[in-house]
Amino acid sequence: MQHSDILSRFGITSSSQTGLTARSPVDGATLATVAETDPALVPDLVANAARAFEAWRVVPAPRRGELVRLLGEELRAAKEDLGRLVSLEAGKIYQEGLGEVQEMIDICDFAVGLSRQLYGLTIASERPGHAMRETWHPAGPCLVISAFNFPVAVWSWNAALALVCGDPVIWKPSEKTPLTAAACQVIFERAVARFGDAPAHLNQVVQGGRAVGEALVAHPGLPVVSATGSTRMGREVAKVVAERFGRSILELGGNNAMIVAPSADLDMALRAILFSAVGTCGQRCTTLRRLIVHKDVAPTLLPRLKAAYATVPIGSPLESGVLMGPLVDADAFAAMQTALTKAKAEGGVVTGGERTLTDRFPNGYYVTPAIVEMPAQTDVVRHETFAPILYVLTYETLDEAIALQNAVPQGLSSCIFSTDVRETERFLSAAGSDCGIANVNIGPSGAEIGGAFGGEKETGGGRESGSDAWKAYMRRQTATVNYSSALPLAQGIKFDLG
């Protein structure tokens, strides 16, 4: 299939207009140019969203769920097309592109069920003739900022919940992936058309860079800001949103580790490492970046791992059989090389990590995945580099392994490979992993949408997707109705005139 064929499925033409240029990591080719949103228009967009909110918040939630159900149907229908476009624009392999769209479908199904729940509580009151309850109401327009590496799923995680919760969405995708965002808007509008009576502007896409992003983040009309990206960006967002008393849902950097214990099933560990360290060319927020191997296991595991690394099929992510596509761009490649250089300076022994396929893709940044055996958890290891670099450390006791796992600023995902329940439960306990995600005998990446997704520390503390992550899109109201004819005070206080 030609690039332009994929684009045309969503009505995107390779226009000559000035604006944001979408470039494929596959070969560096320009895919299309999309109009940028002028930051000066932000107030208008927010006003649109505010109007949509006035109407949408009083639409019954199950009816709002119907829109999301239709969105799910449209995503099912567009799965292959959108999966391919994701592959083309973000550079991940087609299988992962499909997986990403499946995640969108899954969250829609989940959100539809949620639309008849959005459970608050009724609560026993201490006063006679009083009924207490807690209700969740729509919070207001929600800003979604997403990153290039999950160019569509992150939007859907937020949008499916926000829409069911009664909140219109303004979406600022990564500047690197404007086309998939445009395609999602097309799909969304298909659902809206079938739905019938939705207010206008329930989902608005803002194409652009830092300037428009900052204008959005600062706007008081967006009480909920869900931002996925770097810790640096998240810190800025957090500060600005906090100062205006908005609510941030931050999904920032991860520095995800796997502990491989003596009792581990090494075949499984090996497969898990491979998928989670090399998949998406090391550019998932949940990518495995640190391997903490028991010193008795390392001599067995590492040679097998290196052998596997050497056989990973690297190439165009659109070709079948390929497991590892390109880095997103030249900057990513440069950052990777900087990290490897630093790692060496800090005592690391590097295997792999070179650029490859330059003949075939002179403007694509393909690399071999890198394994770096480190003498200690140095600076470079504690830092997240968005590339397929796997640092390897060894340990002697589980305490030590957990301490290593926790001794980084990030707190997204973590895992242990062990068949010893004392180890695995210890890892999951209050004294275990300090991450938001902790897995046993699974790699750190590839979360299901049914759980809450997110992490602690510099990862930002936000939660998206399943469990009660939806509460972040609503406001809570504690209500007490006095249906008696008396007015008792709480805590038995007496306060009466004469």
Binds a copy of itself by CB under 8 A, chosen from 63, 232, 295, 306: 63
Least CB distance to a copy of itself at residue 164 (A)? 9
> Hey, is 300 helix, strand or coil?
helix
Q: Which of the residues 161 through 220 are near a copy of itself (CB under 8 A)?
A: 166
Q: What is the β-pairing status of strands 247-251 and 256-260?
A: unpaired
Q: Is 47 in the site for a copy of itself (CB under 8 A)?
A: no
What lies within 8 Å, CB to CB, of 361 at 6+ separation is 26, 27, 28, 316, 326
Distance CA 51, CA 64 (A): 16
Q: Is 384 in the site for a copy of itself (CB under 8 A)?
A: no
Binding string, 116-155, against a copy of itself, x = CB under 8 A? xxxxxxxxxxxxxxxxxxxxxxx-----------------
- Please name the amino acid found at residue 442: I
134 labelled catalytic: no
CA proximity to 435, closest of 417, 448, 450, 416: 416
Q: What are phi and psi of 456, to 5 degrees?
A: -100, 180
Q: Is 110 in the site for a copy of itself (CB under 8 A)?
A: yes
CA proximity to 150, closest of 105, 92, 94: 92
Q: Is 37 in the site for a copy of itself (CB under 8 A)?
A: no
Binds a copy of itself by CB under 8 A, chosen from 37, 48, 115, 146: 115
- Stretch in the footprint of a copy of itself (CB under 8 A) among 42-50, 113-121, 193-201, 295-303: 113-121
Distance CA 185, CA 179 (A): 10
Q: Is 351 in the site for a copy of itself (CB under 8 A)?
A: no
Binds a copy of itself by CB under 8 A, chosen from 41, 59, 218, 350: 59
Q: Is 475 in the site for a copy of itself (CB under 8 A)?
A: yes
The single-letter DSSP state of residue 359 is: T
Q: Which of 36, 96, 251, 384 is catalytic?
A: 251
Least CB distance to a copy of itself at residue 297 (A)? 17
Residue 126 or 331: which CB sits closer to a copy of itself?
126
Least CB distance to a copy of itself at residue 197 (A)? 12
Strand partners, 171: 144, 205
Least CB distance to a copy of itself at residue 439 (A)? 5
Least CB distance to a copy of itself at residue 438 (A)? 5
Q: Which two tokens stand for residue 332?
A: 């990513």
Burial class of residue 367 (count of CB atoms within 10 Å of its CB; 0-12, 13-18, 19+): buried
Q: Which of the residues 404 through 463 are near a copy of itself (CB under 8 A)?
A: 418-422, 424-426, 428-431, 433-442, 446-453, 456-461, 463
Q: Which two tokens stand for residue 33?
A: 């140019």
Distance CA 190, CA 73 (A): 10
Least CB distance to a copy of itself at residue 276 (A)? 9
- Stretch in the footprint of a copy of itself (CB under 8 A) among 53-61, 143-151, 291-299, 348-356: 53-61
Give the CB-side neighbour count of residue 282, counting CA atoms within 13 A: 28
Distance CA 437, CA 433 (A): 9
- C-alpha angle 20/322/12, rounded to 5°? 25
Q: Is 111 in the site for a copy of itself (CB under 8 A)?
A: yes
Q: Which of the residues 220 through 249 are near a copy of itself (CB under 8 A)?
A: 234-235, 238-239, 241-243, 245, 247-248
Residue 103 or 373: which CB sits closer to a copy of itself?
103
Q: Is 487 in the site for a copy of itself (CB under 8 A)?
A: yes
Q: Is 26 in the site for a copy of itself (CB under 8 A)?
A: no
The single-letter DSSP state of residue 373 is: E
Burial class of residue 375 (count of CB atoms within 10 Å of its CB; 0-12, 13-18, 19+): exposed
Binds a copy of itself by CB under 8 A, chosen from 74, 81, 89, 106: 106
Instruction: Tell me, rounded to whole angstroms, the distance of Cα 247 from its chain centroid.
Output: 17
Q: Which of the residues 257 through 316 are near a copy of itself (CB under 8 A)?
A: 265, 268, 271-272, 274-275, 279, 308, 311-312
Active site positions, annotated: 251
